[in-house]
Chain A
Amino acid sequence: MIAQLPIYQQAILLLASLVLFSSFALLAQTRVVAIIKVFAWQGGLVAITTALVAYDTGQHHLYISATLTLGLKALFIPWLLLRLVNKMGLNKEAHTVEHPAMLLIVATALVIFCYYVVQPIEMLSQSITRNTIAISMSVVLLGMLMLVSRNKAVSQVVGFMSLENGLFFAAVAATHGMPMVVELGVAFDVLVAAVIFGVFFFHIRDSIDSLDVSQLNRLSELDE
């Protein structure tokens, strides 16, 4: 029961639920700039949660992970994406979300599914963060849902990054973080991915005059 936990652990659970909410918020946002801002908030929340876990368990290497997450996910990548969006003149653009109510129902079902799947793991674990494993799995699956439900490149990239947030959160929740080498590697990967995505935005726009990737499904000869 939550009432018997110390206040730091209650705060961890509270922040975990806010991370889950930010995933739902990402799914519902329509404006490009708003999507990127919500993503930045999610990164910030994950970073704070990691720092709290580090404080609570005394695992000092988690502070480094938290700082990396804060710097990369909450500040640098959102800044990079916002700059790209401004440069390409997409900042006023609204992406339509098809069937928002349906998306909410699917998202809820995914969270319940994660809870069901993760339950055996939770029984094995003694860690204080074992309850948040289900939340982090849901963030991963909600990120995937965002990837498949959007057809604009920027939203898909944010969905992918949010999925990575979920993986990082799962590592923190289940085993108090991955080995430092792996974590540094992943952080570097994400950074490189963000830069490459940026280049790709320009390439996609140059070749199909839009960032709507659903147009990539068609053969160009059939159109003309």
Chain B
Amino acid sequence: MSYWILALFQAILFVFLAPLFSAWVKRVKCWLQNRRPPSLLQPYRDLRRLFSKQVVLAHNASFIFRLSPYIIAAATLLAAVAIPLLAVNLPTAAIADVIVLAGFFALARFFLALAGMDIGTAFGGMGSSREMTISAMAEPAMLMAVFTLAMVASSTNLSTVIGVMLNQGMVLRPSLLFAFLSLVLVAVAETGRIPVDNPSTHLELTMIHEAMILEYSGRHLAMIEWAAQLKLMIYGVLIANIFFPWGIAEQLDAASLVLAFVAIGLKLMIIGVALAFGETLMAKMRLFQVPAFLVLALTFSVIGLLSHIILEIS
């Protein structure tokens, strides 16, 4: 029973810390660019404002347009619930393995793209087509990286994978290095950060994610934005807890849970700083160069898989 309570607590923590994480990334970025950062609570204020506003619907909006925010938010939430944030071996980790996780993201993306095309404006369709182009190449790379992890741990369950990483001691695995690099590139592409997409502008020629949600308002927009923040946090936690699992709780006593909380907080802060540095140092690339970026991610994961089979097994 206490396992379920902890799992519920972890899910709530995940959902309510996600806006804070994106606020932290924004804050570091502001520091690096000599701007004055907004308060760390600003995303929460934005979400509250959006939730209290009236929804404006286009005349020709179909039920898909109204349904999509709920499906996107629900799929992302389910993905977040299945990811070990504080402790391994929680019952919720058995809901979904990494392949189902990729499936949740695909479901959310499918409905986001449909909603983008539903109204029939030029920008929505353009955004959807771009999103699908990118995901068609990001998803194989992610799955290959995930398969590499699964082969190393002999399991596709995230909690087991993290447990294996935690207990293997000091091992230099080439496959993990390449899977890590691949997942970082995929995470940048999937969460729509620079250099693939810029989350903070509505520049018509380059936007991808923002183009699809241009017609949304009120609580629909709030849910989609929250889901986007949650997705960023999910990728951050995935990378932090799989490749740097130190500190995650294996026993469920108060001391190790507090330690796990502090550890994941620190790890996410460091990842946020790294992301902000990357976004400040790089310029957004042209859309037609994004395939090269994703082919690099695919190359990393292919070499990871091959080097696991060739170098590590026998």
Residues of A within 8 A of B (CB): 1-3, 7, 10-11, 13-14, 16-18, 20-21, 24, 28, 100-101, 104, 108, 111-112, 115, 122, 131-132, 134-135
* Distance to closest chain A CB from B313 (angstroms): 7
Cβ contact within 8 Å between B172 and A115 = no
Summarize A's interface: helix, strand, loop or mixed.
Answer: helix
B residues 289-308 near A (Cβ < 8 Å) are 292, 295-296, 298-300, 302-303, 306-307
Cβ contact within 8 Å between A3 and B299 = no
Cβ contact within 8 Å between B177 and A135 = no
B305 nearest in chain A by CB position? A108
Cβ contact within 8 Å between A7 and B172 = yes
B residues 163-179 near A (Cβ < 8 Å) are 168-175, 177-178
Chain B residues, Cβ within 8 Å of A13: 172, 174, 307, 311-312
Contact flag A104-B295 (CB < 8 Å), given A131-B314, A132-B311: yes
Summarize B's interface: helix, strand, loop or mixed.
Answer: helix
Residues of B within 8 A of A (CB): 168-175, 177-178, 292, 295-296, 298-300, 302-303, 306-307, 309-314
Cβ contact within 8 Å between A135 and B311 = yes
* Bound Cα distance from A9 to B314, whole angstroms: 13
* Distance to closest chain B CB from A95 (angstroms): 15
Chain A residues, Cβ within 8 Å of B298: 104
Cβ contact within 8 Å between A115 and B310 = yes
* Bound Cα distance from A13 to B309, whole angstroms: 12
Q: Which of B170, B178, B296 is A17 in contact with, Cβ under 8 Å?
A: B178
Cβ contact within 8 Å between A10 and B172 = yes
Cβ contact within 8 Å between B311 and A111 = no
Cβ contact within 8 Å between B310 and A131 = yes
Cβ contact within 8 Å between A14 and B177 = yes
* Bound Cα distance from A10 to B298, whole angstroms: 24
* Distance to closest chain A CB from B300 (angstroms): 8
